[in-house]
């Protein structure tokens, strides 16, 4: 079998056999096929797509490209081990918040996350903004950790889902990220390799997501739910909006801090408008995961339990257990609104400069283009332009205003934290075009603010 013929076949819109797909994945994982040939095949898949059979064979081969985790011996209160994965976004710190919450309620979680892809951030990078956090740990340790503390958060490695690790990095450089079959196989291969019983997907839609409209997001969601069905792993998908960045912070260390603020919130803060978008997405996803784990099917009851473990500090305690278990450094910090000291992760958050970006006119914020904000973060050094770029974890944006908020000319809309003046200049052109202010009626602004963030739910039933 020759890689040339496989590329030619896909280029000519013909169906690849299981043997051809297995050959390509096995040989590429063993470094026996060069990146340039794989890039050509990725582009042919991007342009011509895959059939349901091809997609299943690709996902299955990618999942089996290195070891598969066996979590069957793990005993936690939840009957089923459940995983969650987002298709990517800007300011998306949902995993950092949801996982400790559900683990505190007895759901076992073993999650494999990726690094930033294109203009979107990656949970692996966010965790690496914590001093000492080890995202790649031996398989045996990951399994032991799920048994001991109920969760682990790791990334693809040579031991696990190596094909995805290599393809993920290559797609990022070859303009082949925004492809339904490539996203679906990337995500589902990681999930299947991690040996979980059930999967909940967060399929994002909008300018800050790879799927720009609801129809494509539903198609991606259904494609992944179908792979789960073919692999006999119950899979559901929640479709959430990424029209503007999620929450108030974008940037690796800044997002960890925002996740911490959410988990340490008191009742007023948790229920505040400021936290509304994150709260809606987090409560929906966490409540579904608890239901899928077999602990409790009543979603409203689950939401009450979620609020309880946040307000009691149990969920935050789980986050700290996770960080410490994977080598992350923590230190004791006095939190004034709690009136006590708590363990806090030590973050790589050193920045030299801060610039305020002001409103150029009076009116309401009508839109914030999250893709442009994600691209601006890459310019600042908070994401990668090349495969091996070293990230500046500290840089990013703090939003003072969001869509639907009233602004007067000169008000601070956001703050930019950065370490390199030239990088700021590069980022500025993206930032200034990203925010759109218009003098609309107050009632229109109110309806913009009230737009839901959870847009739909796809289960096997819909296939
Ligand atoms: N997340 C992944 O893990 N893979 C993709 O291709 C996109 C988002």
Q: What pLDDT is attached to residue 461?
A: 63
> Ligand 1 centre and the CA of 87: distance in Å?
5
CATH 1.20.970.10 residue ranges for the chain: 3-49
As given in the structure block, the two tokens for residue 118 are 């294109």
For the chain, which residues score pLDDT lower than 70? 461-463
What whole-number distance in Å separates Cα of residue 104 and Cα of residue 153? Answer: 15
The answer to whether 426 touches 436, Cβ cutoff 8 Å, is: no
Main-chain dihedrals φ then ψ at residue 81, nearest 5 degrees: -80, 125
- Assign residue 49 a region: left if phi > 0, alpha if psi is -120 to 50, beta otherwise? left
85 closest CA partner among 214, 193, 213? 193
User: What single string gives the DSSP state of each residue in 373-391?
Assistant: HHHHHHHHTSS-SSTTPPP
Catalytic, 248? Answer no
Catalytic residue among 22, 83, 125, 164: 164
Where along the chain do the CATH 3.40.1030.10 domains lie? 72-160+170-333+454-462
Q: How many helices (H) and strands (E) does the chain have?
A: 18, 15
pLDDT of residue 462: 61
- Ligand 1 pocket test, pick from 45, 84, 86, 88 with the greatest ligand atom count within 8 Å of Cβ, gives 88
Angle between helices 3-11 and 35-48 (to 10 degrees): 20
* Per-residue confidence (pLDDT) for residue 463, from 0 to 100: 61
The ligand 1 atom nearest the CA atom of 182: 6
How far does the centroid of ligand 1 lie from the alpha carbon of residue 271, in Å? 31
Q: What is the pLDDT of residue 156?
A: 77
**Checking DSSP bridges between strand 406-407 and strand 109-113, what pairing results, if any?**
unpaired
Distance 251 CA to ligand 1 centre (A): 18
Residues whose CB is less than 8 angstroms from the CB of residue 12 and which lie 6 or more positions away in sequence, other chains included: none
How is domain 353-449 classified at the architecture level of CATH?
A: Alpha-Beta Complex (3.90)
What's the confidence (pLDDT) of residue 116?
A: 83
- Pocket probe for ligand 1: among 165, 187, 242, the residue whose CB has the most ligand atoms within 8 Å is 187
pLDDT confidence of residue 391: 93
Name the residue at shortest CA distance from atom 1 of ligand 1. Answer: 87
Q: Whose CA is nearest to atom 6 of ligand 1?
A: 183
- Nearest atom in ligand 1 to the alpha carbon of residue 120 is 8
Looking at residue 82, the DSSP 8-state letter turns out to be E
Cα of 186 vs centre of ligand 1, distance in Å, is 6
Hey, which of 183, 221, 383 would you mutate to test ligand 1's pocket, going by the most ligand atoms within 8 Å of its Cβ? 183
Atom of ligand 1 nearest to the CA of 87: 8
What lies within 8 Å, CB to CB, of 164 at 6+ separation is 62, 65, 114, 156, 186, 189, 190
Check if the beta carbon of residue 411 is closer than 8 Å to that of residue 356. no
Q: Ligand 1: distance of its center to the CA of 345 in Å?
A: 27
CA 462 to ligand 1 centroid distance, Å: 23
Instruction: List the one residue out of 363, 343, 451, 349 whose CA is nearest residue 409.
Output: 363
Index of the ligand 1 atom closest to the CA of residue 177: 6
**What is the distance in A from the centroid of ligand 1 to the CA of 177?**
8
Residues listed for the chain = 463
For 211, the token pair is 């799927």
Closest CA to 412 of 459, 356, 368, 456: 356
Ligand 1 pocket, CB under 6 A? 87-88, 114, 117, 183, 186-187
Q: Is 259 helix (H, G, I), strand (E, B) or coil?
A: helix
Backbone torsions φ then ψ of 111, nearest 5 degrees: -115, 135
Mutation probe of ligand 1 site: the residue of 168, 175, 203 with most atoms within 8 A of C-beta: 168
> Which residue in 57, 64, 85, 222 is the catalytic one?
85
Active-site residue (options: 190, 236, 279, 401): 190
In CATH terms, is domain 3-49 a member of 2.40.50.140? no
- The predicted pLDDT at position 74 comes to 83
Q: Which atom of ligand 1 is nearest to the CA of 210?
A: 7
What's the start-to-end Cα distance of the chain, in Å? 35
Q: Which of 126, 171, 279, 401 is flagged as catalytic?
A: 171
- 186 a catalytic residue: yes
Q: Quick check: 186 and 203 in contact, CB under 8 A?
A: no
Nearest CA to ligand 1 atom 3: 187
- Enumerate residues 6+ apart whose C-beta is below 8 A from 348: 129, 130, 131, 253, 393, 394
Ligand 1 nearest atom to the CA of residue 113, by list position:
3
User: What is the pLDDT at residue 57?
Assistant: 97
- CATH architecture of the region 72-160+170-333+454-462: 3-Layer(aba) Sandwich (3.40)
Q: 186, 261, 293, 370: which is the annotated catalytic residue? A: 186
Q: Confirm whether 72 is a catalytic residue.
A: no
Question: What is the 412 CA–ligand 1 centroid distance (Å)?
Answer: 34
Whole-number average pLDDT of the chain: 94
Q: What is the pTM of this model?
A: 0.94
Ligand 1: centre distance to CA 113 (Å): 9
Q: What are phi and psi of 120, to 5 degrees?
A: -95, 155
Beta carbons of 364 and 404 less than 8 angstroms apart: yes
Query: CA-based Rg of the chain, rounded to a whole angstrom?
Result: 22
Q: Please give the number of the atom of ligand 1 that sits closest to the Cα of 88.
A: 8
Buried b (16+ CB within 10 A) or exposed e, 200-216: bbbbbbbbbbbbbeeeb
264: enclosing H helix or E strand: none
């Amino acid at each position: 079998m020759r890689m040339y013929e496989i590329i030619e076949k896909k280029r000519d819109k013909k169906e690849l056999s299981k043997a051809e797909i297995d050959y390509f994945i096995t040989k590429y994982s063993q470094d026996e096929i060069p990146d340039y040939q794989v890039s050509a095949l990725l582009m042919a898949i991007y342009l011509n797509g895959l059939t349901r059979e091809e997609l299943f064979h690709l996902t299955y081969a990618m999942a089996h490209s290195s070891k598969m985790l066996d979590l069957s011996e793990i005993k936690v209160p939840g009957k089923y081990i459940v995983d969650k994965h987002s298709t990517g976004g800007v300011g998306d710190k949902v995993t950092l918040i949801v996982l400790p919450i559900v683990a505190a309620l007895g759901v076992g979680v073993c999650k494999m996350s990726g690094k930033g892809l294109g203009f979107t951030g990656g949970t692996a990078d966010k965790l690496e903004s914590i001093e000492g956090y080890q995202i790649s740990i031996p398989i045996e340790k990951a399994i032991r950790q799920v048994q001991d503390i109920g969760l682990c958060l790791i990334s693809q490695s040579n031991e696990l889902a190596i094909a995805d690790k290599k393809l993920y990095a290559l797609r990022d450089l070859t303009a082949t990220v925004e492809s339904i079959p490539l996203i679906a196989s990337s995500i589902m291969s990681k999930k299947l390799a991690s040996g979980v019983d059930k999967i909940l997907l967060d399929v994002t839609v909008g300018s800050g997501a790879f799927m720009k409209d609801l129809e494509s997001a539903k198609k991606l969601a259904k494609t992944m739910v179908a792979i789960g069905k073919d692999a006999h792993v119950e899979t559901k998908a929640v479709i959430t909006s990424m029209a503007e960045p999620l929450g108030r912070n974008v940037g690796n260390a800044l997002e960890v801090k925002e996740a911490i603020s959410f988990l340490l919130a008191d009742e007023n803060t948790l229920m505040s408008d400021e936290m509304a978008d994150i709260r809606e997405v987090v409560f929906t996803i966490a409540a579904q995961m608890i239901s899928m784990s077999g602990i409790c099917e009543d979603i409203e009851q689950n939401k009450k339990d979620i609020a309880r473990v946040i307000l009691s500090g149990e969920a935050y305690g789980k986050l700290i257990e996770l960080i410490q278990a994977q080598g992350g450094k923590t230190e004791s910090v006095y939190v004034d609104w709690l009136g006590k000291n708590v363990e806090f992760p030590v973050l790589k958050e050193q920045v030299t400069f801060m610039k305020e970006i002001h409103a150029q006119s009076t009116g309401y914020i009508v839109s914030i283009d999250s893709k442009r904000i994600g691209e601006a973060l890459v310019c600042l050094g908070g994401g990668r332009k090349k495969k091996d770029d070293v990230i500046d974890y500290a840089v990013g944006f703090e939003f003072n205003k969001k869509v639907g908020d009233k602004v007067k000319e000169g008000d601070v809309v956001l703050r930019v934290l950065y370490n390199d003046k030239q990088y700021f200049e590069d980022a500025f052109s993206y930032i200034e075009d990203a925010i759109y202010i218009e003098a609309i009626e107050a009632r229109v602004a109110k309806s913009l603010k009230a737009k839901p963030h959870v847009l739909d739910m796809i289960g096997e039933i819909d296939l």
